[in-house]
Every structure is written in structure tokens, then in C-alpha cells.
Amino acid sequence: MRHMLFTSGPNKISRGRLFQKHFDQRIDVKHVEVTTPLWPKEFDGLRVGHISDFHLGDLMPMDRALSAVQMLKSEEPDIVACTGDVVDLNALGAEPLFEAMANIDAPLGTMLVLGNHDELDCAATISDMALEAGVSLLRDGRCTINHNGSKLHVAGIDWAKSQKKCSAKVARVCHDKTHLLLSHNPKAFSAAANHNIPLTLSGHTHGGQLAVRDKPNTNLAVAHKRSSGLYDREDSRLFVTVGVGAWFPLRINCPAEVAILTLRSK
Ligand SMILES: [Fe+2]
């Protein structure tokens, strides 16, 4: 119903011009430096490629999704984090996108958590596609990456709508050594900060898609107090990407993006 009202219906009325205008919009590469004394010194300078919310489907054809992945690849990140909503309504034919994310060939791998739109379709199918392609899927799970004799502890939680449910997942999945948390919903950050997790990466909000210029947090994502960019609470940091895709064909003062975060331990 939402798709028909805000997306396919208006596009039909515009005789396809609405989608074409949307596809003509640029995708930015955003560079952000993130500094926290909680970040492990052994991984000082680590570059994280963060990509989220493709919504592969009517508003994100495969070639546009692959070009966003190529933008990230050309930045040569050390690790890739995808924070969900890879597909929108239908996972059929999504395999090349997971393969492209794995083929970025970041030395520390490509990590993925699922978003609410992934779970709306078929979480099991999407999980199989990701694993088959060589993407590390964190479904309320964690992993330890051994790199040059040091360990990076990464955790990821499945979609949860409320802050309370996110907090319960963080408590269950993370431990006191977790360095990096992937959560589609930025509402996990309060719990992450309580656990002194240095960095949480999220998507989901799309930055509201319609934003007021030069006024941070003034956008359509009114259900989220942290909806776009970098946030801190004490020494914990949260980065919320506005994502590469969309759930309606309009972005104002909120261009689509892929992000490169450089981590500093001070
Ligand atoms: Fe999304």
C-alpha cells in the first residue's frame, strides 16, 4: 500500500519521469573522522566503509546499487559494514549485490546486519545469499577478527523497533570487549553507550530524506532523535548514515551517500 501510494502510483502518473529524476540524483562519498579513547590503539587509523539502505527494487535498480558499491571499493576501506535494508519487498535476483559487497575485498571483511525491510521479505533467503557470497552476517551475533596479531570484536543485532528491545539485544549479544556494533536501528546507541562500546553504526532513518539545510536533525525522521551523522555520549560514538537508497523517490538537502569513517584512538 505504501509503495503504491508514494512510489509506483505517482511514478505512473508522471509517466516514469519521477523515477528517472530520482535516479539522476547523485550519491556522495562522505569522509568522517571518529575519535574516541575507547577505540583500540592497535586499530588506530582503521578505515570503515559504511553503506546502508539500498532498498534494491523499483527505486534502486541493480546497476545503481553496484555503482554505489564500486564507489566504496575505490576508497579501499579496511573493513566494510552494511547496516541493512539491502532489499525492498523482494529479494529475487539480489545475489550480484551481495557478491559485489564481498568483492570489495576489504582485508578485515564485509559485515552485514539485516534491516526491517529485509525481514519483511525473507530474512532466511537474504541470509543465505549473503553467506553464499562470502559476507559475514551478524544476526544477534558477534565475531572476532584477528588482524596483524590484534583482535577486533564486532557485534551485530537484528532489527528491533523500540529502544527497549534494542537494549535487550545489545545486552545479550555484546560483551565488555565489543569494539564495533552494527545495528540497523540507531535506537541501540543508548545501550551501546552504557556498555562503553566505542562505535555503533546504523542506518534506517534515511536522514528523513527531506531535511532543512544547515539545521542538523531537522528532517522527516521525527521518530529518531539521532537521525543523521555523528553523535556522542561520553566516549561512545554513533554514526547514522542517510543511506544510498530511498523508500519514496525524493531527497531534499539529504543526498544519498556511502561513508568512509577513519577511527582514531586519540
Ligand atoms: Fe531503510
What CATH number is attached to the domain comprising 56?
3.60.21.10
CB 60 within 8 A of CB 89: no
CA of 151 to the centre of ligand 1 (A): 31
**Residue 26: which pLDDT band, with cuts at 50, 70 and 90?**
very high
Interior/surface letters 154-187, b for 16+ CB within 10 angstroms, e for the rest? bbbbbbbeeeebbbebbeebbeeebbbbbbbbbb
Structure confidence at residue 248 (pLDDT): 87
CA of 263 to the centre of ligand 1 (A): 25
**Residue 89: which pLDDT band, with cuts at 50, 70 and 90?**
confident
pLDDT, one tens digit per residue, over 238-254 is: 999 999 999 888 899 99
Q: Cell triple for residue 180?
A: 564495533
Supply the mean pLDDT for the chain: 94
Structure confidence at residue 253 (pLDDT): 94
Number of domains in the chain: 1
Q: Please determine, for residue 60, whether its predicted confidence score (pLDDT) is greater than 90.
A: yes
CA of 206 to the centre of ligand 1 (A): 6
CA of 246 to the centre of ligand 1 (A): 7
pLDDT, one tens digit per residue, over 101-132 is: 999 999 999 999 999 999 987 899 999 999 99
* Domain around 153: 2-264
CA of 55 to the centre of ligand 1 (A): 6
Mean pLDDT, to the nearest integer, of 51-69? 96
Q: Please determine, for residue 229, whether its predicted confidence score (pLDDT) is greater than 80.
A: yes
pLDDT, one tens digit per residue, over 177-215 is: 999 999 999 999 999 999 999 999 999 999 999 999 988
CA of 133 to the centre of ligand 1 (A): 22
pLDDT, one tens digit per residue, over 145-158 is: 999 999 999 999 99
The distance from CA 109 to its chain's CA centroid, rounded to whole angstroms, is 15
CA of 88 to the centre of ligand 1 (A): 8
Whole-Å CA distances, 88 to 91, 106, 114, 116, 231: 7, 26, 12, 10, 28
Mean pLDDT, to the nearest integer, of 246-265? 94
CB 219 within 8 A of CB 207: yes
**Residue 4: which pLDDT band, with cuts at 50, 70 and 90?**
confident
Structure confidence at residue 120 (pLDDT): 86
Q: Cell triple for residue 5?
A: 501510494
CA of 15 to the centre of ligand 1 (A): 25
CA of 250 to the centre of ligand 1 (A): 14
CA of 182 to the centre of ligand 1 (A): 14
CB 175 within 8 A of CB 197: no
Separation of alpha carbons 221 and 235, rounded Å:
25
CA of 242 to the centre of ligand 1 (A): 9
CA of 41 to the centre of ligand 1 (A): 33
Q: Report percent pLDDT > 70 for the chain.
A: 99
Separation of alpha carbons 49 and 45, rounded Å:
13
CA of 14 to the centre of ligand 1 (A): 24
CB 241 within 8 A of CB 203: yes
